[in-house]
Amino acid sequence: MSPFAPRRSASVAALGEARLIAAIGRWLGGTVPPSPAGIGDDCAVLPVARGRRLITVDPVVYGRHFDAKVPPAAVGAKLLKRNLSDIAAMGGKPEAAVVSLLLDRKVSRAWLEAFHRGLAACARQYRVRIVGGDVAEAPGVLAATLTLVGSAGKRVLTRRGARAGDAIYVTGALGGSLDSGHHHAFAPRLAEGAWLAGRDEVRAMMDVSDGLLKDLGALIPSRARAELAIDALPLRFGASKEAALSEGEDYELLFALGGRADAGAFERAWRRRFPQTLLSRIGRFEAAGRGSAGTLSWGPYFGYDLIRTRDLHGYEHLR
């Protein structure tokens, strides 16, 4: 479905800002609490929280994160789920979101309605309230930016904390996200993230969104390097190893398990708790001298034929 209307009468310009905002309120329905907790004032009021709060922001941009082939409801859901994946990666629980829309005058009303209904359905599923937003005109643009606030669990699991000797794990499968539709159909790993943050033997975590090789760089401890067992990579159906290493939009959790932890017991506990979610041990962090610290290596399986991966990269924006 094209996001752009064939004639003015079917566009947001025909609606105008005031009626568009009223329509957005209807499309979002019960996910918007009454003002001042929701849309309709200068700010929205967030409910009182006991502990620390998390905040993250991610957009969807036409031509970049979606095109006319992705159903608009799936684009709305993807906007929220990209941010949910970030909350999951810190072991948090999502609460409330604000949405900023940049719209060309030609954007189709019907497209925008389906987008918002998809966003609302996803918000209901994950119990997120849409508490505010903004609409601005921007020629040639269709983009939505969502800021998500969540509550942190007892422990905020960050990207820092891995050590040499730790095992590297990833949830689900990697690669082929765009071809398979996974990039919008994925389920953010919220339950898994919260469970992992509650396990002391898990030392660092992040989500894989720009490709495993690029993202893993952020987890590598200082004075260490990462070794990946290429044959242990969980490939999405039809995806190559190269795709799994570098394509991105996987929205899976990548984490380090303490080197002295009982990996077998940990994996059994995982399978009991998440029998449906694949978990793969794909490598380890190894102590390294100055020359190879911070680098990634990979071989067919653990400890054999390690090759430096300086020339393999994940998805880098603006390149």
- Nearest CB to its own copies, comparing residues 122 and 204: 204
Q: Does 17 bind its own copies (CB under 8 A)?
A: yes
Identity of residue 5: A
Span near its own copies by CB under 8 A; candidates 45-53, 70-78, 225-233, 291-299: 45-53
Kindly state whether residue 292 participates in binding its own copies, applying the rule CB under 8 A.
no
Count Cβ atoms below 10 Å from residue 308 Cβ, excluding itself: 12
Least separation in angstroms between CB 99 and its own copies: 8
Q: Which two tokens stand for residue 38?
A: 């929701």
CB atoms within 10 A of CB 180: 15
Candidate list 6, 30, 140, 198; residue touching its own copies; CB under 8 A:
140
Residue numbers 255-284 binding its own copies by CB under 8 A: none
Which residues from 181-210 bind its own copies, rule CB under 8 A? 206-207
Tell me whether strands 224-229 and 296-299 are parallel, antiparallel or unpaired: parallel
Nearest CA-CA partner of 133 in 80, 75, 63: 80
Could you say which residues in the range 63-82 bind its own copies, by CB under 8 A? 63-65
Q: Facing residues of 307 across strands?
A: 298
* Stretch 97-116 residues interacting with its own copies (CB under 8 A): 98-100, 102-103, 105
Q: Please report how close the Cβ of residue 270 comes to its own copies at its closest, in angstroms.
A: 20
* Window 152 to 181, contacts with its own copies (CB under 8 A): 152, 156, 158-160
**Is residue 8 part of the contact set for its own copies (CB under 8 A)?**
no
Assess contact for 234 and 184: CB atoms under 8 A: no
- Tokens representing 283 are 């490598």
Inter-residue contact 240 to 175 (CB < 8 Å): yes
Residue whose token pair is 């893993």: 216
Q: In the range 229-258, which residues lie near its own copies by CB under 8 A?
A: none
Q: How big is the chain, counted in residues?
A: 319
Tell me which stretch binds its own copies (CB under 8 A): 112-120, 149-157, 273-281, 287-295. 149-157
